[in-house]
Homo-oligomer: A and B are copies of this chain.
Amino acid sequence: MITSSHPAAIPEAADKHGATKAAPGSRATCDVTRLRIEPLTSEAFAPFGTVIQLEGAHHYPINAGTTERFHALAMTDTDAQGGRTGISLFRGQGFTLPFTLRVMERHPLSSQAFVPLATGAADRYLVVVAPPGVLQTSALRAFLAIGWQGVQYATGVWHHPLIALDRTLDFLVVDRVANDANCDEIVMEAPFIADL
């Protein structure tokens, strides 16, 4: 959710929808846009891809009942133009909130999935997305992923580079491996500030 505001007014003036208003007589020293961070749910994230989590998953016992399979939490889309699917690990620096967003990227040919490893319930990371097509910064959304919640960005979905919060986190990444360009990056004209 997006509103234009003076930075100092952000925490105090936000109403329940994240809307903020400059106090009468205040002078903005620069224009920034606040992006309120939303909880990460499958429903809210559906326009951008898939939340990788157990909630709502189809599951059934295998291995003579000693294992429960939570099936196909995400399906990759990585084979365009001869692409293959690789399993990589991203070690992401920990940032703090509020976080200033300046750049967005997309992989026009493929999905990309992130699942944090060795996390505790208190670990979290920030997911910032915009619909595919021409980047519309007015359509930016920010989500807070908790614990081992993963996300898979659908093909072409704009997203901010990895934003682990509070401490360095490792993510298993399932994405396309090929010898071609599959990443567009845009520096936004004006930054956004993501905060809870």
Docked pose: A118 CA to B57 CA in angstroms: 19
CB-based contact A148/B93 at 8 Å? no
Contact with B along A138-177 (1 / 0, CB 8 A): 0000000001101010000000011000000010111001
Contact with B along A91-114 (1 / 0, CB 8 A): 111010000000000000000010
Docked pose: A62 CA to B160 CA in angstroms: 13
CB-based contact A87/B115 at 8 Å? yes
- Chain B residues, Cβ within 8 Å of A86: 71-76
Query: A45: shortest Cβ distance to chain B, in Å?
Result: 15
What are 9 A-B interface contacts by the 8 Å CB criterion?
A57-B89, A63-B92, A66-B92, A66-B93, A69-B173, A72-B87, A72-B177, A73-B89, A118-B148
Interface size bracket, A side: 35 or more
- Chain B residues, Cβ within 8 Å of A120: 118
Interchain CB contact (< 8 A) of A161 among B57, B64, B89, B170 = B64
Residues of A at the B interface (CB closer than 8 Å) are 52, 54, 57, 62-64, 66-76, 78-79, 84-93, 95, 113, 115, 117-120, 147-148, 150, 152, 161-162, 170, 172-174, 177
Query: A77: shortest Cβ distance to chain B, in Å?
Result: 9
Query: A152: shortest Cβ distance to chain B, in Å?
Result: 7
CB-based contact B88/A84 at 8 Å? no
Docked pose: A66 CA to B70 CA in angstroms: 32
Interchain CB contact (< 8 A) of A73 among B84, B87, B115, B150 = B87
In the complex formed, the residue of B with least CB distance to A53 is: B89
CB-based contact B162/A66 at 8 Å? yes
